[in-house]
Structure 1
């Protein structure tokens, strides 16, 4: 890491480093060695108090300007949550995996592509959390149930997409009750076979981000022309954008 790199929030960074295990310190070190810049840990409460939205749809953001992780900096740092976000960042910065983005800023496409990208990345990073001593199963069991019991889907197509993507969680979540809730919901739409096929196809394709993206878009009936793959080079301050 470049010693001249400014750390925006030293106190939040200090608390993060105290909370996460040594193996996660190594993940952070690899990210910063590759990018030449400090990962910026930002206090979510301070951002909200300033009227600034979180930097990204989730709690982490990687672009040509740097890597940012938003931390719910309450009484105690959630070490598992921070580790989860750093594993996202590691994929993009160290492993050079492209991010899926919307080709055009129209309708819900930016949100949609970011959501799909997040789902695809979870197939790789959630199992890795266990390598750092965490048990992500309770969180994802709750998420699985929420996906299949929520009643705020915008349309039938939105619900179908949510169910198909939601079932991919069963690649790494084995909770039988949560799976039963999901299966019943899939059966109510008659898409249990589609959901299993998408989950299994994505799992087999997980070594290639491009294949994963194409597989997901095809299953959801979304044109490949609506998506792009973007790689950011923080050290060079540049980005590489490619169509599918």
Structure 2
């Protein structure tokens, strides 16, 4: 990481960045993009990370906007995808109904899955970040409350954000409002089942993706799992429908009676 940015970080975040760079064998680059969306009235925009088999970049909206907690969050993403080998969920360009909205939706779902694992650790290190996530989830449920008449469109967002409350912010002040919206939509039981189904597989991305798509009624053909190997400079993508077919084939072989 460029020294000007590295020196602005708290000692523990700076140590995490340096440890990641040492383990990965390259520098994590900070780059500025003014096209990042504004997430709050008092913030110029959120941070993002970009990863591939040859490097990692933390994207910031302004050279002066480099908040410590947000950098920590993005470093956790980098660690999972590049050091721990957790696959990314990406859009499958071969999907017959592909369009830019499909790509955005897949990115959204991957981010939501990752947050179920990353944000609890983030809050352990930075308890003051609770206010940020409370504000974010309050805004989400406020929007869902307004659009609650469009049931089919609301279902994935309602279930996903209920899972975030259950697994990350169980004591959230927004919990009561979320329950009210779920009841109005008739999704309360489905949301509870979804959150419960995710609990045992949060640390297994492949199983997590499978349950995620099943409960949200998403088409597996729309997405792939992307595995990045920085040491071999390699990238491998497997469409989810192929992953699912292989899993079914393996299960059938295991069920064949011995002769």
Which TM-score band applies after superposition, normalised by the shorter structure?
A: 0.7 to 0.9
Match runs of 1:76-87 below 5 Å:
77-87=66-76
8 Å CA contact 1:39–1:67 kept in 2: the answer is: yes
8 Å CA contact 1:144–1:179 kept in 2: the answer is: no
| Total equivalences in the alignment | 224
RMSD: 2.5
Question: Which has the higher mean CA deviation after the structures are superposed, 66-75 or 113-122?
Answer: 66-75
| Aligned twin of 1:197 | 193
Deviations 1:161-219 (A, max 9, x none): 11111112211113442111111111111111111221222222111001110111011
8 Å CA contact 1:232–1:239 kept in 2: the answer is: yes
Match runs of 1:49-128 below 5 Å:
59-73=48-62, 75=64, 77-104=66-93, 106-107=98-99, 108-128=101-121
8 Å CA contact 2:32–2:62 kept in 1: the answer is: yes
8 Å CA contact 1:137–1:175 kept in 2: the answer is: no
8 Å CA contact 1:147–1:163 kept in 2: the answer is: no
- Mapped pair 1:141 → 2:141: no
For the residues of structure 2 that align with 1:86 and 1:109, how far apart are their CA atoms?
A: 26
Deviations 1:115-166 (A, max 9, x none): 111111111110111343343321222222222221479x643311111111
TM-score by length of 1: 0.82
| Aligned twin of 2:8 | 19
For the residues of structure 1 that align with 2:159 and 2:90, how far apart are their CA atoms?
A: 20
- State the SS of the aligned residue for 1:114: helix
Structure 1 residues not aligned, in runs of 5+: 1-6, 49-56
Larger Rg: 2
Q: 24, 35, 48: which is aligned to 1:35?
A: 24
Q: How far does residue 74 in structure 1 lie from its aligned partner after superposition?
A: 5.7
| Aligned twin of 2:123 | 130
Structure 2 residues not aligned, in runs of 5+: 37-45, 244-259
